[in-house]
Amino acid sequence: MIPFKNAYKILFLLSFLLCSTLIFSQNNKQKELETRRQELRREIQKINELRAENKSKEKSQVSLIEDFNYKIRVLSNLIKVTNQQANLLTRQINSNQKKITSLRDELKELKEAYAAMIVKSYKSKNQQSRIMFLLSSNNFKQAYKRLQYIKQYSDHQKQQGETIKAKTLELQEVNSDLLKQQESKKKLIAENREIQKSLEKERSEHERLMKSIKQNLSLYASQIKQKQREVDRIDAEIDRIIKAAIASSNRKAGKSENSTTFALTPEEKVLASNFVSNKGKLPWPVEKGIVRLGYGTQKSNIDNSLIIKSNGVRIATEKGAKVMVVFDGEVSEIIRMKNTNPMVMVRHGSYVTLYKNLSKVYVKKGDKITTKQIIGEVATNNYSGETILSFTISKGSDFEDPASWIYRM
């Protein structure tokens, strides 16, 4: 059976470890939320910069709706993250207030005990009392024990003084943390009010624009369908080119041309493996950009009955933006189609990245290129002023969501 004193010590140690773990976890969570909040703030700044850059151009209603939807989504996420931070701070403030109350109670008890000890020590302070206490011993052993007692009592007195000093400093630190947390919470709440105003303004503009669009919905629906048909035409040609490249690689390797995957050399296997090991860490293909359209099948922002299919992402960026390859590889094709700006296809072993809507191309077929090497410039639409890069990632001819590959997309 565990002695009472030992059991108490074990319980105290477990409580201390649990409390420390909780504080560490809360601090980590607060850091994560702050990192995410700053990312969203930078995202809003990029949106505003791109809007200002294209202000002189007359954007299409569809593009404007996409802009509003994107900013509304980012603002909503920012409000959510800021609220999470404020709630976490509230919990930390409550915890610190309880800790302050507990420390004050402890200090009160310690000071009372210390005061009683000082009074008792004062009463037996003179040297004669101590000598008489020792001389009145019945034997040497008792005298030695009494001498040890006097020493231990003195040491205990000093230790109590040090404990009070340490607890006082701890109380001061917790009070300081509490004031900082309360100030941080005030700032977050004030910031959230401003974000809420911006969100309400964006929603109001969005509603006004949607009313205007609904008056002539059939025209806009027709434009969306036409745009989707053009995307489908390009995607079909890209699919054909990728499959032809797969067949060519298998033919060279003496394998069946019907295979759906590239035949890889030992070097290409290493390249593909490295590409996979960097999933979620690949750089963006442009220095500054926001995702205007995500991957997959989704409903149109204009008409819910219309379905938009996207094999990749459309990234809005600044005029004259340079396009960078996201990983080492080889330029597989420079694709030029009628009524379409050039595209660069880069192969990374069994994976392919595609960079569409370029105004300038700085590489040629067969070039070996390295991560972040500039391969061209994004084209800017003369009418709308928009600079949009379409970017895809596929394993063979099977497309994947770039957001799961590119760092914090």
pLDDT at 76 over 60: yes
More confident residue, 8 or 343: 343
Average pLDDT over residues 163-180: 80
The answer on pLDDT for 19 being more than 60 is no
- Domains annotated for the chain, with CATH where assigned, are 4-207 (1.10.287), 217-404 (2.70.70.10)
- Is the model more confident about 243 or about 137? 243
pLDDT, position 227: 87
- Per-residue pLDDT at 49: 80
The predicted structure's pLDDT at residue 230:
92
Instruction: Write the DSSP string, 88-118.
Output: HHHHHHHHHHHHHHHHHHHHHHHHHHHHHHH
Does residue 356 register a pLDDT over 70?
yes
Question: What pLDDT does residue 4 have?
Answer: 47
* Backbone φ, ψ for residue 85 (5° rounding): -65, -45
**Alpha carbon distances (Å) from 143 to 95, 123, 126:** 50, 20, 18
Highest mean pLDDT: which of 13-17, 77-81, 343-347? 343-347
Query: Residue 306: how many CA atoms within 13 Å on its side-chain side?
Result: 17
pLDDT category of residue 149 using cuts at 50, 70 and 90: low
pLDDT tens digits, 384-402: 788 999 999 999 999 999 9
The pLDDT > 90 percentage for the chain reads 43
Report if pTM > 0.85. no
Whole-number pLDDT of residue 368: 97
| DSSP string computed for 287-337 | SS-EEEE-SEEEE-SS-TT-EEEESSEEEEE-TTPEEE-SSSEEEEEEE--
Q: Do 394 and 352 touch, CB atoms closer than 8 A? A: yes
Measured in degrees and rounded to the nearest 5, phi and psi for residue 319 equal -60, 135
**What local confidence, expressed as pLDDT, does residue 173 receive?**
84
